[in-house]
């Protein structure tokens, strides 16, 4: 789960990591009021969306007066901000963060990530702050310094010193940097953040270190024990259909095709999408109905898929296992009747009582087709949706 | 033979008195698995499924000589349970639970490693050596004893593959669900090594998916060590968009890393027969082994 810059900066401040003084505003007048409470003579107004590259897209403005702050906020709030991370349609900006301008001497890059390969938290630093770190990794890999934490997520001061001296800081700045990094890691471990990026981390003209930007990603599996982090979630940042699915408790990801898929189990769900594509059709979504696949779950799945206007047909692939196929079939039929489903539906089931399940589907009087295998099911739905299009 | 578990494996169920633990505990007993005890803190001295329940894993191990544990406890308590098992001398921990915080798993794995305990999972269906022992939640009737070893990151996808292999007239030596999490226990490479030394395994089937680089590492291992047995592969998620988590916590393409196409290329380069259409997996393996 991602959070906004202003939320990340509040968390950093809570953990003793220096950030500029600032406040959030949803209207131009509020932006001006916020700026009035912050010492000048320079203020920075920043669009609050979950995407990088906001400056290049016109979402960050440096202002020299309170009136400039107001007009910058007027331009930014409500705009459809396009960056390399938003896609061509961009994202609507609902609020801005207004902060005190910082007199910058140099900019570093600092990040904490969960390294899947090494299976530990890893800290990365580079003197090339403000740049896209993937470009630095490509062109100057020697300018990125990394250190791995042990399994207890502990960082020794020497590890932080190595990174900071590597970035060319003075001994005095290194001292400040060690507590910066230590505090940042305390935040990561206590709040289950698995990716934090401070880019840039500014060295001010006074020799202080301060986080000018912050991106944070939290482990969704740990949100149960951090209700205060869960509360930072911004539903406006999600695809409306995915939001609806999440509200219904359905594991759903929207794609751009026209064949809705509903499957039990994530791996089989991905394989089913792939099979649809191989049969010459385009999958409209990923949907994992979970192990249960009961009437309620199937109804919810149908409801989410049918909210996507591109869906022309549905493929249901259930590997019953312990679950009985006749029960799955009853669930599918009941859910379809409840929603007056008229689209073609291909059902492929495997497991105990598969014959009874197929009989139920055949005799239900709905536009259902049974398939024996995944390959056949995918071909069948591709055929049916091709007809539906012409 | 088989790997990891066999008819002599003595199993405890952590969380035996819970809904999932008792349901699957019974299914394992029905299959003939030597389930010897349960552990639920606070319920020591009770009986469940006709088995003794202990407060701690140490008591259960001391009383029964168990060497393996399967864990059915809530996500927030799972890493703790796995560490308790390792501290009590359990050699193999099978962790079924989904949604365990990943930083918990990092700590847990480091501790298990220090104790020499092997971990399967989390977020997995478990392990079965057909005809000998089932320690997991998989539907056992689709399996048949045989010579194909199977390693998979997914649950129902594994069942699909097993079903096809059985329908094609073959059977399985051991099937392992390694789980869909970003920090798993044993990985493709560790299990390929075990299958290599198992005389009853003639071929290995590995089912991967997008995210991480464990399939690529396995490919490098197969190539560098001249793997002596035929390996078949399948990768799920070729149509998944970048940056989106596809159900499994570990199934995500980050930037240009974790892509299915790269995994397939690496496996094919290592001589693995990669099946592109899942529906053809069983017949492909059967055709190759019956030659």
pLDDT recorded at residue B42: 96
Interface of A with B in 319-358 (CB under 8 A): 319-322, 350-352
Q: How far apart are CA A81 and CA B259, in angstroms?
A: 28
> Are A52 and A23 within 8 A, CB to CB?
no
Orientation angle between helical segments A374-389 and A266-278, nearest 10 degrees: 50
Closest by CA to A186, choosing from B110, B103, B250, B99, is B103
Q: Which residue of B has its CA nearest to A349?
A: B160
Hey, are the CB atoms on B278 and A275 less than 8 Å from each other?
Answer: yes
pLDDT recorded at residue B243: 73
Hey, are the CB atoms on B241 and A255 less than 8 Å from each other?
Answer: yes
Confidence of residue B268 (pLDDT cuts 50, 70, 90): very high
Closest by CA to B194, choosing from B166, B173, B215, is B173
Which DSSP letter does residue A2 get? B
The whole-angstrom distance between B217's CA and the closest CA on chain A is: 10
B239/A contact by beta carbon, under 8 A: yes
Confidence of residue B162 (pLDDT cuts 50, 70, 90): very high
Give the mean model confidence (pLDDT) for residues B227-256: 81
| A153 pLDDT above the threshold of 60 | yes
Among A215, A267, A322, A372, the strongest candidate for a mutation testing the B interface, having the largest count of B CBs within 10 A, is: A267
pLDDT recorded at residue A322: 65
What tens digit of pLDDT does each residue of A77-107 get?
999 999 888 878 889 999 999 999 999 999 9
| A388 pLDDT above the threshold of 60 | no
pLDDT recorded at residue A390: 47
Residues of A in contact with B75 (CB under 8 A): 221, 224
> Are B62 and B48 within 8 A, CB to CB?
no
Give the closest of B142, B156, B246 to A253, CB-based.
Answer: B246
pLDDT recorded at residue A321: 67
Hey, are the CB atoms on A116 and B239 less than 8 Å from each other?
Answer: no
Between strands A22-25 and A96-100, the pairing is antiparallel
Model's pTM, two decimal places?
0.91
Average pLDDT of chain B is 94
For chain B, give the DSSP string. --SS--TT-EEEEETTTSHHHHHHHHHHHHHT-EEEEEE-TT-TT-EETTEEEESSHHHHHHHH---EEEE---HHHHHHHHHHHHHTT-SEEEE--S---HHHHHHHHHHHHHHT-EEE-SSS-EEEETTTEEEESS-GGG--EEEEEEEES-SHHHHHHHHHHHHTT--EEEEEE--SSSS-SS-HHHHHHHHHT-TT--EEEEEEESSSSHHHHHHHHHHHTT-SS-EEEEEE-TTPPTT---SSTT---BTTBT-HHHHHHHHHHTT-EE-SSGGGHHHHHHHHHT-
Q: How far apart are CA B93 and CA B100, in angstroms?
A: 15
Residue positions of B annotated with a catalytic role = 248
Give the mean model confidence (pLDDT) for residues A127-132: 86
Orientation angle between helical segments A171-191 and A5-14, nearest 10 degrees: 110
Contacts of B198 (CB under 8 A, 6+ apart): B1, B2, B3, B149, B173, B174
The Cβ of residue A337 has, within 10 Å, a number of other Cβ atoms equal to: 12
What tens digit of pLDDT does each residue of B106-140 get?
999 999 999 999 999 999 999 999 999 999 999 99
Q: What share of chain A is helix, strand, coil (3-state, %, to 5)?
A: 40, 25, 35
Confidence of residue B169 (pLDDT cuts 50, 70, 90): very high
The whole-angstrom distance between B234's CA and the closest CA on chain A is: 9
What tens digit of pLDDT does each residue of A45-75 get?
999 999 888 988 899 999 999 999 999 999 9
Confidence of residue A246 (pLDDT cuts 50, 70, 90): confident
Helix or strand run (H / E) with residue A12: helix A5-14
Q: Which residue of A has its CA nearest to B248?
A: A266
> Are B134 and B128 within 8 A, CB to CB?
yes
**Residue A247 in tokens:** 């509200």
Determine the 3-state secondary structure of A349 from DSSP. strand
Torsion of CA B254, B260, B262, B266, to 10 degrees: 130
Closest by CA to A85, choosing from A60, A54, A55, A112, is A54
pLDDT recorded at residue A387: 63
| A389 pLDDT above the threshold of 60 | no
Contacts of A171 (CB under 8 A, 6+ apart): none
The Cβ of residue A37 has, within 10 Å, a number of other Cβ atoms equal to: 10
Give the mean model confidence (pLDDT) for residues A218-238: 93
Q: Which residue of A has its CA nearest to B250?
A: A116
pLDDT > 70 fraction of chain A, expressed in percent and rounded: 97
pLDDT recorded at residue B1: 74
pLDDT recorded at residue B254: 62
Catalytic residue check, A197: yes
> Are B208 and B153 within 8 A, CB to CB?
yes
What distances in angstroms separate CA A373 from CA A320, A370, B97, B284, one per listed residue? 13, 9, 29, 15
> Are B148 and B170 within 8 A, CB to CB?
yes
Sheet of B51-54, strands arranged across: B47-48, B51-54, B34-39, B10-14, B68-71, B92-95, B118-120
What tens digit of pLDDT does each residue of B8-37 get?
999 999 999 999 999 999 999 999 999 999
> Are B146 and B208 within 8 A, CB to CB?
no
Give the mean model confidence (pLDDT) for residues B206-226: 94
pLDDT recorded at residue A292: 60
pLDDT > 90 fraction of chain B, expressed in percent and rounded: 88
Average pLDDT of chain A is 91
Interface of A with B in 186-245 (CB under 8 A): 189, 192, 194, 219-222, 224-225
Contacts of A170 (CB under 8 A, 6+ apart): A207
B284/A contact by beta carbon, under 8 A: no
Residues of B in contact with A189 (CB under 8 A): 103
Question: Which of B107-111, B246-250, B280-284 comes out lowest in average pLDDT?
Answer: B246-250
| A314 pLDDT above the threshold of 50 | yes
pLDDT recorded at residue A289: 83
**Residue A201 in tokens:** 């981390």
**Half-sphere exposure in the Cβ direction for B265 (13 Å, CA):** 7
What tens digit of pLDDT does each residue of A1-33 get?
999 999 999 999 999 999 999 999 999 999 999
End-to-end CA distance of chain A: 41
The whole-angstrom distance between A223's CA and the closest CA on chain B is: 9
Residue B15: is it exposed, middle or buried by C-beta count within 10 angstroms (0-12/13-18/19+)?
A: buried
pLDDT recorded at residue A362: 86
| A323 pLDDT above the threshold of 90 | no
């Amino acid at each position: 789960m991602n959070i906004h810059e202003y939320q990340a900066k509040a968390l950093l401040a809570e953990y003793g990591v220096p950030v500029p003084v600032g406040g959030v505003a949803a209207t131009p007048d509020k932006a001006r009021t916020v700026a009035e409470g912050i010492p000048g003579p320079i203020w920075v107004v920043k669009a609050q969306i979950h995407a990088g590259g906001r400056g290049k897209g016109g979402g960050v403005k440096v202002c020299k007066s309170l009136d400039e702050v107001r007009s910058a906020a007027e331009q930014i709030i409500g705009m459809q901000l396009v960056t390399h991370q938003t896609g061509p349609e961009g994202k609507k900006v609902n609020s801005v963060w207004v902060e005190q301008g910082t007199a910058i001497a140099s900019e570093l890059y600092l990040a904490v990530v969960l390294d899947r390969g090494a299976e530990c938290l890893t800290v990365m630093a580079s003197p090339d702050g403000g740049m896209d770190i993937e470009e630095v990794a490509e062109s100057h890999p020697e300018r990125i310094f990394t250190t791995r934490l042990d399994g207890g997520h502990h960082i020794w001061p020497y590890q932080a010193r190595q990174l900071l001296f590597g970035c060319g800081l003075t001994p005095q700045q290194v001292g400040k940097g060690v507590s910066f990094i230590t505090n940042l890691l305390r935040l990561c471990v206590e709040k289950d953040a698995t990716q934090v990026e401070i880019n840039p981390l500014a060295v001010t003209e006074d020799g202080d270190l301060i986080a000018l930007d912050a991106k944070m990603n939290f482990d969704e599996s740990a949100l149960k024990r951090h209700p205060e982090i869960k509360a930072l979630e911004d539903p406006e940042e999600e695809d409306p259909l995915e939001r609806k699915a999440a509200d219904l408790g359905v594991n759903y990801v929207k794609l751009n095709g026209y064949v809705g898929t509903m499957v039990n189990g994530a791996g089989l769900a991905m394989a089913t999408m792939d099979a649809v594509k191989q049969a010459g059709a385009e999958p409209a979504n990923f949907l994992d109905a979970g192990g249960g696949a009961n009437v309620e779950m199937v109804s919810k799945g149908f409801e989410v898929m049918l909210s996507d206007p591109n869906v022309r047909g549905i493929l249901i692939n259930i590997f019953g296992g312990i679950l009985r196929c006749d029960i799955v079939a009853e669930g599918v039929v009941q859910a379809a009747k409840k929603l007056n489903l008229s689209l073609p539906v291909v059902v492929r089931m495997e497991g105990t009582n598969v014959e009874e399940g197929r009989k139920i589907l055949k005799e239900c009087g709905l536009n259902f087709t049974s398939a024996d295998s995944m390959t056949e099911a995918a071909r069948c739905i591709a055929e049916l949706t091709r007809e539906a299009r012409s | 033979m088989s790997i990891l578990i066999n008819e002599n494996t003595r199993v405890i169920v952590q969380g035996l008195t819970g809904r999932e633990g008792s349901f699957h505990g019974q299914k394992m007993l029905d299959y003939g698995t030597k389930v010897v005890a349960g552990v639920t803190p606070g319920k020591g001295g009770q009986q469940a499924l006709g088995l003794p329940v202990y407060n701690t894993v140490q008591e259960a191990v001391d009383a029964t000589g168990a060497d393996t544990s399967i864990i059915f406890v809530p996500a927030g308590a799972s890493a703790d349970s796995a560490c308790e098992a390792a501290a009590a001398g359990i050699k193999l921990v099978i962790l079924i639970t989904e949604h365990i915080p990943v930083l918990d798993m990092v700590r847990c794995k480091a501790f298990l490693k220090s104790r020499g305990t092997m971990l399967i999972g989390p977020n997995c269906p478990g392990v079965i050596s057909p005809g000998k022992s089932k320690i997991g939640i998989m539907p056992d009737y689709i399996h048949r004893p045989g010579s194909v070893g199977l390693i998979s990151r997914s649950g129902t996808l594994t069942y699909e593959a097993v079903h096809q292999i059985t329908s094609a007239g073959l059977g399985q030596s051991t099937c392992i669900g390694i789980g869909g999490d970003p920090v798993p226990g044993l990985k493709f490479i560790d299990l390929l090594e075990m299958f290599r030394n198992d005389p009853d395994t003639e071929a290995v089937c590995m089912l991967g998916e997008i995210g991480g680089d464990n399939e690529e590492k396995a490919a490098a291992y197969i190539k560098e060590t001249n793997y002596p047995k035929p390996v078949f592969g399948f990768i799920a998620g070729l149509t998944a968009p970048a940056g989106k988590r596809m159900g499994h916590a570990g199934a995500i393409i980050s930037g240009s890393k974790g892509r299915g196409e790269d995994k397939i290329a690496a496996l094919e380069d290592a001589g693995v027969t990669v099946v592109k259409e899942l529906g053809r997996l069983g017949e492909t393996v059967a055709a190759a082994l019956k030659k």
